[in-house]
Amino acid sequence: MREKEFKIFNDHLAMVLHKVESFSAIAAFSVRNGGQSPPPLDSLNFSTSQGDSLENVHSNFEHLAAHLNIDSSRIATCNQVHGDTVEVISSVPNSLPRADALVVAVPGIFPAIKTADCLPILLIDPVRKVSAAVHAGWRGSVLRITRKVVQLMVKWFGTEASDLIAALGPAIGPCCYEVDDTVLIPLRHDLPSSERFVTVNFSSTSDSIDSKKSHRLDIVGLNRFELISLGIPEGNIYSTGLCTSCRPDLFFSHRRDGILSGRHIAITGFRD
C-alpha cells in the first residue's frame, strides 16, 4: 500500500493523489470535515438522500470544487444502485444516469462517485486522457464492475492496462467489515478467488465454536487483486489505507452510523 502518496489538505477537505497532477489530472476523496451540513451529517455531505438540504449539499460541492480548482458544474454524478452498469459520458448529463461507474474521455468533465463504506475507485489513463469513477461495494465487486470498467476503457478508448493509475479511496476495512451468508454465498459462487480476502474469526469464550464464527471481508484487497489481474502494475495502484468505520473523525460510515450517515464524494478527471 502506498498511503504516503495521499495528502490531506490543510483545511481537511479531501485526500488527493498528488502524483496525477503532473498529468493535469485530479484524484480526490473528500473527508467529512469543512462543509456546512448539520449533525449527524456533519459536515461535508454530498447527498440529500438522508434528509440534508439541497442548499447544504450544493454549498459543499462548491466548497470542495473551489479547493480542487475545478468548476462544480462540471462534476458528473450518477444514480448509484449497487449494480454493474458503466456509463460513458462526454458532458454532465441533465438527468442522473442509473449507473455505478462513469467513464469520461473529455478533459474538463469530472466523473464522481458517492460512498459511505463502499470502495470508491478512481482510474486514470494519462496517455489517452480517459478517467473513471467506480462504486465498488460487495455487490459491485461480485458483479465485477471494476473489471468491466477497465475492459470498456481498453475497448472504447484503446487504454493499455499498463498505463492505468488506480486510486482506492477510504472504505470499510477488514477490521470492521463483518459479513454473513448474504455476502459470502454470492461472493464464493461468482468470485472464488475472493476467499483469500475473507478472514474467519472465532470467539474463544464460546462453547460452540460454530455459533461464534464470524467472517470479515477485505473489499480493498479484493479490488486491488482484480486490478492487478487486469494488468495494472502494482506500483500504479494507490490506496488511502484508511477504514471509514474506524475513523469517525474523518469519515462517514453507513455500517457505524446507520441510515443517517452522510456521503463522501470521490472525484477524478482531467483539467481543460
Residue 153 or 217: the one with the smaller Cβ distance to Zn ion is 217
Minimum CB separation from Zn ion for residue 255, in Å?
9
Minimum CB separation from Zn ion for residue 264, in Å?
16
What does the binding site for Zn ion look like in residue numbers (CB under 5 A)? Answer: 173, 175-176, 243, 245-246
Minimum CB separation from Zn ion for residue 211, in Å?
24
Minimum CB separation from Zn ion for residue 173, in Å?
4
Residue 164 or 217: the one with the smaller Cβ distance to Zn ion is 217
> How far is residue 161's CA from residue 228's CA, in Å, rounded to a whole number?
9
Residue 36 or 253: the one with the smaller Cβ distance to Zn ion is 253
| Sheet of 25-30, strands arranged across | 6-8, 14-17, 25-30, 264-270, 110-115, 75-76
> How far is residue 21's CA from residue 38's CA, in Å, rounded to a whole number?
33
Q: At CA 30, angle to CA 54 and CA 229, rounded to 5?
A: 125
Residue 96 or 175: the one with the smaller Cβ distance to Zn ion is 175
Strands 101-104 and 86-89 turn out to be parallel
> How far is residue 254's CA from residue 48's CA, in Å, rounded to a whole number?
15
Instruction: Say how many Å lie between the first and final Cα of the chain, rounded.
Output: 31
Amino acid at 270: F
Query: How would you class 154 by CB atoms within 10 Å of its CB: exposed for 0-12, middle for 13-18, buried for 19 or more?
Result: middle
Residue 31 or 104: the one with the smaller Cβ distance to Zn ion is 31
Minimum CB separation from Zn ion for residue 262, in Å?
18
